Amino acid sequence: MDRSDFIERGEVKVDFLKYYRLVSRWACRENDLNIADLELLFYLDPIKYFTIQDFKDGTFYYSWDKMRFYRLQKEGWITKIHKGNGRLGDHNKYTVSSKGHRLINRIYKILIGKETLPESTRRSKIMQRKTYVDKVYSQAIKKFNKENLNG
């Protein structure tokens, strides 16, 4: 995905969201997340330290799951970094864990063409092609990688 021709004309090529659905579904399948969990991590990642209220504000746009916060914390996507003592203004503080940061950064790299999606059956559950959806996505992944390499 060479963007130099667009820069010369003073334009910015913003087609990296073209494959967002494929990449996000791959990330969810590989990490046992649902799409709402992943998008919530995207929302929380730029917030250095967040509270439960910040988390709740981010969940307004997604399907209701009252256990989401605790599940994400238990699975290592969110880390508590400060235990508040309950006084006014002193709340527990959380951050997206290094595991979450790595996943989000990898997704960004894949979307902008700096990385490809794995095609080996050892590195990708989708490429094992156990379900019909996996078979469809495996074909899409091969096409995506081919386009990115030829870019």
CB atoms near residue 148 (< 10 Å):
18
Contacts of 63 (CB under 8 A, 6+ apart): 36
In one-letter notation, the amino acid at residue 49 is: Y
CA 39 to centroid of chain Cα atoms = 6
Residue closest to 31 by CA, chosen among 107, 131, 120: 107
Contact (Cβ atoms closer than 8 angstroms) between residue 123 and residue 29 = no
Contacts of 32 (CB under 8 A, 6+ apart): 75
Q: What is the pTM of this model?
A: 0.81
The rounded distance, in Å, linking the Cα atoms of 151 and 145 is 9
Angle, helices 98-111 vs 35-44, to 10°: value is 100
Residue closest to 54 by CA, chosen among 94, 89, 98: 94
Angle, helices 20-31 vs 35-44, to 10°: value is 100
**pLDDT tens-digit profile, the chain (151 residues):** 455 555 555 566 667 788 899 999 999 999 999 999 999 999 999 998 988 888 888 888 777 788 999 999 999 999 998 887 766 666 789 999 999 999 999 999 999 888 999 898 888 888 888 899 989 999 999 999 988 776 5
